[in-house]
Each structure stands twice: as structure tokens, then as C-alpha cells.
Amino acid sequence: MTNQAAPHLLAVEDLAVEFDTPQGPQRAVRGVSFEVGECETLAIVGESGSGKSVTAQTVMGLIPLRARVAGGRVVLEGRDVVGLSDREWRKLRGERIAMIFQDPLSALNPSLTVGYQIAEMFRRHRGMGRKDARRRAAELMDQVGIPDAARRLDDHPHRFSGGMRQRVMIAMALALDPLLLIADEPTTALDVTVQAQILRLLRERQRTDRLGMILISHDLGVVARAADRVAVMYAGRIVETGTVAEVYERPAHPYTLGLMRAVPTSRDGGAPLEAIEGQPPSLTDPPTGCSFHPRCPFARDVCRESDPEPRVLGPRRASACHFTEEVIANARER
């Protein structure tokens, strides 16, 4: 599953992340591999606890407390960044790789004006004087669609609406021209109209700045609008990958199929949605064989005994299921 068309900005190879818990090590991420190229958006989807946010945080060098990288590599522009010092990470973050979060309020300092917080990035990283840094902050706020930007520099974060705060976050993330942007549920807290505006803004900036992007989301509607490719995670593993069209039109893993069936479409006409039965498994004591078998309508004996390896189905398409063909055939009948 390599991309011949564009050089990879990022390649994650066989990544494993473990948490120390009183019950023993918890494998939050297992054997995760993917790449992201210039101008490309990879969405990572899955239920909460699937490992998608831990993966993103690890790529960003923000490994959660009590967690450690137990194996694999995170290669950014050809350099393995696992194990870099805090000092090296501070330099990479913002400059090469930036992140926007679901809740900008938690990432912004409530006691400082928005203009000060953006300008501070130019002062600290670019050595700009106060006046120039303020001017650049206003330009950037204008570029992300904040009306009357020069006047709003002196407002504190709580004076902005949720959508405008998310624009401020995007301005801060883009301030130092990073190559890779990680967006963790960036529109979850916003209403549908503002959500669409923010996704459009991200898409536009991605094209003009040739950004690679990782979009973390549980919302398949958002992913369909914003991503090029999808990686579906379950219990710490990627269970299916492909382009948005491939995965949405012909899901090849029962978990993906379940996620799709839980999304309302115009065809449903208000029919009740089929939620996936059961709960995600314990990561300290995962089920034998395929982790999805206790919830899987396709499960047979072999699924309880053997964990399926990813099967390559196309140039950048794979599914980790013993009965992939059956699932694809079933998806066609939807």
C-alpha cells in the first residue's frame, strides 16, 4: 500500500502504543501503518477507544500519560521522530506539524487576547517584533475568515463564537506553515452550517498550502465530505483502508459495514438505524482471534482462533477479515 504519485510527508510503520494499567499493559494501538502525502487527507475513523486519538497524539509527539511507544516508527519527512527530546519536539510542532482540537477553548489561554496568542508564535518562532507579529496575526485571522480581524485582535477567546474560535485555532495551527495538520474531531462541537464552513476552510487551505492532513472523526458524514482516504480502526488496529469511494461504496470489513449501517441516508426515510450491537472489547484482555468476533454477524469458528492479517484488495486498499469477499457481496445488496 504505497503511494507512487506523491512523496509521503508521513509514514507510520507498525506502530504499537501501550498504557500501563493496574490490570497490566493495555495495547491501545497495535501494528498500525499508514502514509499521508502532500495535499492528501487521511481520515481515521472508529468508535471512542478504538485508538484513533492515541495514534494521532503519538504522531504529534504528545504521548498520553502512562503510555509508551512499544514498537514501530513514525517517519516525518524521512526522519523517525519517535523518541525525540521535548526540545526537538517543540521545534517540530507548529513548524512542521500542527494540530487542531475539538474544543479550541481548552487549547487557547482564556486570560490572553487572541491576537497576543497568535502574534506570540511569530515572535517566538520567527523572531518578529511586536508590531510585525500583530500585523501578521491580523492577516492570518482575516485569511481564515474572521470578520473585522484587526479590531478583534484584542478580544479574549470567550468573546468568539464556537465556529470563530475554531477559525482562530486553524489560524494558529497554520501560522508557521506546517506540512502536516492533524485535526482531531475539529467540527464535532459545531452546528451543521458552521461545520460545513470549517471543513470548506480546511480544504481550501490544504490546497493552497499543499498540506497533508489527518482527520480524526467518528462522523462518517464529515469524513465523506473532507477526506480522500479512510483508515477504519477497531480495538487498536486498522481493520480496513481505502479511498472514501471504495470504503463507502463497498465496505470490506464487517465493522465498517456496521458503521455505515448506523449512518442515516436519504434512502432510509427516517427508518431506525442499526447500531452495532455490543461494546468494544477490553484492551487489557482482548478476545482471542479477531477482536471483533463477539460483535460480528459474519463470525465463524476460525474467527475465534485466528486473528486475520490485512488482505490487500487494491493499490491502497486492504481489509483484515477472514471473509472479506462475503462482506463485500453483502454490502452490494444494501
Cα-based angle 15, 100, 213 (whole degrees, multiple of 5) = 55
| Number of neighbours of residue 263 by Cβ within 10 angstroms | 14
Phi-psi region for residue 72, left (φ > 0), alpha (ψ -120 to 50) or beta? left
Q: How far apart are the first and last CA of the chain?
A: 28
How far apart are CB 259 and ligand SF4 at their closest, in Å? 13
Residue 308, interface with ligand SF4 (CB under 6 A)? yes
Judged by beta carbon, residue 122 or residue 298, the one nearer ligand SF4 is 298
Q: And the C-alpha cell for 191?
A: 452546528
Q: Contacting ligand SF4 (CB under 6 A), which of 16, 70, 84, 299?
A: 299
Our CB check for ligand SF4 shows the closer of 116 and 292 to be 292
> Which of 59, 100, 244, 303 is in the footprint of ligand SF4 by CB under 6 A?
303
Question: What distance in Å separates the CA atoms of residue 230 and residue 240, rounded to the nearest whole number?
Answer: 8
The least CB distance from residue 296 to ligand SF4, in Å, is: 3
Task: Count CB-CB contacts under 10 A for residue 44.
Answer: 27
Q: Which positions from 178 through 237 interact with ligand SF4, judged by CB under 6 A?
A: none
- Residue (180 or 313) nearer to ligand SF4, CB: 313
Min dist CB 287 to ligand SF4, Å, is 9
The x, y and z cell numbers of residue 297, run together, are 454477524
Nearer to ligand SF4, 134 or 322 (CB): 322
Q: Compose the 233-272 pattern: x for residues touching ligand SF4 by CB under 6 A, - for all others.
A: --------------------xx------------------
Number of residues that bind ligand SF4 (CB under 6 A): 13
Could you tell me the three cell numbers for 12?
A: 507510520
Whether the CB-CB separation of 89 and 76 falls below 8 Å is answered with no
Alpha carbon 33 to its chain centroid, in Å, reads: 14
Walk across the sheet containing 317-319 and list its strands.
Answer: 97-100, 180-184, 212-217, 41-45, 229-234, 237-243, 317-319, 311-314
Which positions ≥6 away from 124 have C-beta within 8 Å? none
User: How far apart are CB 186 and ligand SF4 at their closest, in Å?
Assistant: 30
Output the smallest distance, CB 113 to ligand SF4, in A: 51
Q: Are 28 and 51 in contact (CB under 8 A)?
A: yes
- Shortest Å, Cβ 326 to ligand SF4: 8
Nearer to ligand SF4, 21 or 288 (CB): 288
- Binding pattern to ligand SF4, positions 277-296, x when CB under 6 A? -------------x-xx--x
Provide the β-strand partners of residue 79. 76
Decide: is 30 part of the binding site for ligand SF4 (CB under 6 A). Answer: no
Distance of closest approach, residue 228 Cβ to ligand SF4, in angstroms = 25
Residues that bind ligand SF4 (CB under 6 A): 253-254, 290, 292-293, 296, 298-299, 303, 308, 321-323
